[in-house]
Structures are given as structure tokens and as C-alpha cells.
């Protein structure tokens, strides 16, 4: 019997989950055994999984799971160097030259396990079957606006946290912008036709921010793009890959510009394909921005788990998208899972 083991997330500020109780019930009805770990932080209560008929395991007990179990989580595992013998479904961030990703692949090689990277679960046309993109864009635009508002107060953006829902986020951010008693900034979104860009643009428009929307057509000629510097905010919402042009180069730091805040929602600072090479590391919930220039200021927001700010909405949305693929876990050698395994084997160190 196919056995899906939903692990607790161990990263700080991570309350999301990729399977809802309703989804678990559907998997069990399809003949898949579902084990869910207890979690002290998961936004969706454990009782729903109990009622759905799931087996319950202690928090963070997945290393002792049966070897045939498929371990399902979202964010990274503890970087303890231990070999990984299981099959894992998660965001590995391992296939674009990331340094931590190389170490992760070495662990899979040592243990004989397999990584089915959620970022590379694609249909036959190459389109991702599920993504947190909309809520990443939504939350990323919100934090970038908070960074801009802090600049107007002569400050740098302070810590951010989890919101009970979208309405709470909008109410707080709207009040912060209104308290400035000045006009709204302008923003440019690159990747505006995708899920990430749509979420970013929707947040901006909800806050009364004028948005310039660019996508592949506008960037086909290759960058950098001086037009970006004519906006107050730049929101990068594209999936970096070979051939992606540089949008804002390091030369922009000393150039005449209106731009003072970049929201790099895609957040690939250590990738070889980073289109915003003005910074070199992700930012955090405690320190949401990195100041990369002073005259005028330029802050970069690059938090890599943005949807966690709205964990219930983002979990429910993502889980609904992913469920049809999870129902196909009984056949890991073809379809979406076969393609994901082939991608893993292509990148596995020799």
C-alpha cells in the first residue's frame, strides 16, 4: 500500500501544510495510507486529520518512518548531513546551483533516497501542477510596501509575522500607508501574467498603488531595464532559469533612480540565474530587507517563505492544486512523478 507521511515543518515561522484534512480523506478513500505528524505550529489543527482517518505520529519522527513511506513536507530539512534513504516530496532548492542544494543532493546520494521536488512537478507541457505563487506575490508585495513606508519615516523595515488572514494584513498595511499622509508609490511587476505576479499586482491595487505590468513580451530584448528605475517599487515575480536576463544590475546602485525598494519574490540570490544581482542572501522575518545602497536608499526584500505570512489561505489553495497529483502517488514511475524523478536523477552528483 502506498504510504504518505506528512511531516511537521521544522523551519521557524513555517505554519503551512501541503495536505488538508479533506485532501487526506480523499487519499485514504483512494487506498493510500496517510500518516500525519503532530505539530506545534501547523495552521490547520490536527483534529481534522484524526477525523479524516489518518494515522498520527510524533512530531519530527519521520527519520524513523518505514523505509517505504513517502515523506511529504514543504520547506527544507535540518542541515545535519545525515543520509536520506526515504523518498521525499518537498521544495529542495537543489537544481539551480544553490550551495545548500548541492549538499542536500549528496545526502540523497549517500542514503539512496529520491527527491521529488515540488518546484519541478510539471504536466506534460512543462507547466507546474501546483504553486504557492499567488500568495507569495501577495505577501511579498505587502512586505515591500512596508519597506517603502518605513523609508518614508526615515527607518528600515522592522520584523514581520503571521497574519490571521488576508483582511487582517490589508487592514494593518492600509493603516500604515494612510498614516504617512502622502500619495501612494508606483510599482512595476515583472512576471505579471503568472500566479506570483498576479498576487503581487492584486495586493498593490488593493492598496491603491499604480502598477506597471510586464511579462515575457516586455523583457524579450534582454536587460537590464532602465524603466524599472523610474518606479518606486520593483517586484520580481519570475521563475529564474538559463537565459533569464538581468533586470537590475549592480550599476543601478549608483545610477540616478526613483527606485528605493525591490521585492525579489522569486528569491534566488545564490542561483547562477539570479536576475537581480544587487544582493547576495535571502532576508528573514526578523530582518525583512537588506539595504544595498544609501544615496538614495535601496532596500531588497527577499524572504523565501512568504506564503507563510498567510498560512491558512496559502495551504488551502496549494493543497487543492496538488491533490490530483497526490492521488496518483500509486504510480511513481510515470506522469508528474516520473518526470520529477528524472529531473532528480539528472542533477544527482556522480
How far apart (Å, rounded) are the C-alpha atoms in residues 330 and 332? 6
CB count within 10 Å of CB 32 equals: 18
How far apart (Å, rounded) are the C-alpha atoms in residues 194 and 73? 24
Residues in the chain: 350
Q: Do residues 135 and 199 make contact, with C-beta atoms less than 8 angstroms apart?
A: yes
Torsion angle defined by CA atoms of residues 223, 211, 306 and 5, in that order, rounded to the nearest 10 degrees: -90
75 catalytic, yes or no?
yes
Q: Do residues 137 and 235 make contact, with C-beta atoms less than 8 angstroms apart?
A: yes
- Residue 296: asked if its preceding bond is cis (omega within 30°), the reply is yes
- Side-chain-side CA neighbours of 253 within 13 Å: the count stands at 13
Q: Which residues pair with 56 in a beta bridge?
A: 36
Q: Give Cβ neighbours of residue 171 (< 8 Å, ≥ 6 apart).
A: none
How far apart (Å, rounded) are the C-alpha atoms in residues 184 and 53? 50
Cell numbers standing for residue 244: 533569464
93 catalytic, yes or no?
yes
What's the per-residue H, E or C state across 132-183? Answer: CHHHHHHHHHHHHHHHHHHHHCCCCCCCCCCCCCHHHHHHHHHHHHHCCCCC
Catalytic residue among 86, 88, 93, 96: 93
With cell 488551502, the residue in question is 316
Catalytic residue among 75, 231, 341, 347: 75
How far apart (Å, rounded) are the C-alpha atoms in residues 341 and 343? 5
How far apart (Å, rounded) are the C-alpha atoms in residues 271 and 309? 24
Cell numbers standing for residue 256: 540616478
Q: Which residues are the active-site residues?
A: 75, 93
Amino acid at each position: 500500500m502506498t504510504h504518505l507521511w506528512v511531516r511537521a515543518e521544522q523551519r521557524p515561522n513555517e505554519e503551512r501544510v501541503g495536505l488538508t484534512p479533506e485532501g487526506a480523506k480523499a487519499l485514504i478513500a483512494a487506498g493510500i495510507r496517510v500518516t500525519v505528524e503532530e505539530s506545534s505550529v501547523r495552521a490547520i489543527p490536527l483534529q481534522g486529520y484524526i477525523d479524516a482517518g489518518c494515522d498520527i505520529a510524533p512530531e519530527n519522527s519521520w527519520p524513523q518512518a518505514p523505509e517505504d513511506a513517502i515523506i511529504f513536507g514543504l520547506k527544507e530539512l535540518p542541515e545535519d548531513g545525515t543520509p536520506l534513504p526515504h523518498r521525499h516530496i518537498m521544495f529542495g532548492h537543489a537544481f539551480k546551483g544553490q550551495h545548500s542544494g548541492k549538499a542536500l543532493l549528496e545526502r540523497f546520494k549517500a542514503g539512496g533516497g529520491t527527491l521529488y521536488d515540488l518546484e519541478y512537478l510539471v504536466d506534460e507541457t512543462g507547466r507546474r501542477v501546483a504553486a504557492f505563487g499567488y500568495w507569495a506575490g501577495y505577501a511579498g508585495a505587502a512586505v515591500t510596501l512596508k519597506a517603502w513606508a518605513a523609508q518614508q519615516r526615515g527607518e528600515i523595515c522592522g520584523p514581520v509575522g503571521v497574519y490571521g488572514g488576508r483582511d487582517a494584513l490589508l487592514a494593518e498595511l492600509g493603516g500604515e500607508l494612510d498614516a504617512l499622509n502622502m500619495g501612494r508609490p508606483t510599482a512595476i511587476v515583472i512576471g505579471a501574467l503568472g500566479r506570483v505576479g498576479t498576487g503581487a499586482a492584486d495586493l498593490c491595487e488593493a492598496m491603491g498603488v499604480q502598477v506597471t505590468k510586464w511579462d515575457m513580451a516586455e523583457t524579450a530584448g534582454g536587460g537590464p531595464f532602465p524603466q524599472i528605475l523610474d518606479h518606486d517599487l520593483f517586484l520580481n515575480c519570475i521563475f529564474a532559469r538559463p537565459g533569464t536576463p538581468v533586470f537590475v544590475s549592480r550599476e543601478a546602485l549608483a545610477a540616478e533612480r526613483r527606485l528605493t525598494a525591490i521585492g525579489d519574490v522569486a528569491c534566488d540570490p545564490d542561483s547562477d540565474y539570479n536576475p537581480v544581482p544587487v544582493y547576495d542572501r535571502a532576508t528573514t522575518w526578523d530582518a525583512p530587507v537588506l539595504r544595498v545602497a544609501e544615496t538614495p536608499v535601496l532596500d531588497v526584500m527577499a524572504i523565501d517563505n512568504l506564503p507563510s505570512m498567510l498560512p491558512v489561505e496559502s495551504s488551502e489553495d496549494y493543497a487543492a492544486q496538488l491533490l490530483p497529483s497526490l492521488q496518483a502517488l500509486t504510480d511513481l514511475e510515470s506522469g508528474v512523478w516520473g518526470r520529477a524523478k528524472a529531473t532528480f536523477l539528472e542533477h544527482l552528483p556522480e
